[in-house]
Homo-oligomer: A and B are copies of this chain.
Amino acid sequence: MTRILVCYHSRTGTTERMAREIAQGMRESGADVDLLSVEQVDTDALTEYQGIVLGSPTYYGLPSAELKALIDESVKHHGKLEWKVGGAFTSSANPAGGNETTVMAILESLLVHGMIVKGDPRDDHYGPVVIGEADEEDLKRCRDYGRRIAELTQGVEKWISKK
């Protein structure tokens, strides 16, 4: 069974709520998901997942220091996360308030690990974004995203495991 980590940092609860919906979409697609706040993640366990999706509030157009600390610590596994699937999401106060640069910053760090990421031709192109309070449509977008990332992770894993 494909194992995916959805890790979030959340202060007001919006990013956590997004994480729950993403995890829900993944589970509906048959993935085994660990939904953990950034404080709960054991960096030694990162290599056990086939997919890693990271979420943060938008703080100054970038992920929070708390999430960045996890990314910095992951250097101990540098090279071992290659070919895994990654993803990113964020919550923000304003449109054009730094949400895209936050998602892209997280994706850049995953690319440095050699991970595989995927965009979306529909709406939130780089990864799910919620502006202000999450409404029903936002949460549906998160679940849809979870399903697509789970599907990609399962597909990549099937092929990687046969290499």
Residues of A within 8 A of B (CB): 59-66, 68-69, 71-72, 74-75, 78-79, 81-83, 94-101, 103-105, 107-126, 128-129, 131, 152, 155-156, 158-160, 163
Contact = CB atoms under 8 A, between A and B. Distances in A.
Q: How many copies does the complex hold?
A: 4
**Interface residues of A: mostly helix, strand, loop or mixed?**
mixed
A69 B62 contact: no
Contacts of A129: 95-96
A153 B68 CA distance: 30
Contact of A111 (B115, B126, B156, B160): B126
A123 B94 contact: yes
B116 A116 contact: yes
Contacts of A159: 155-156, 158-159
A124 B105 contact: no
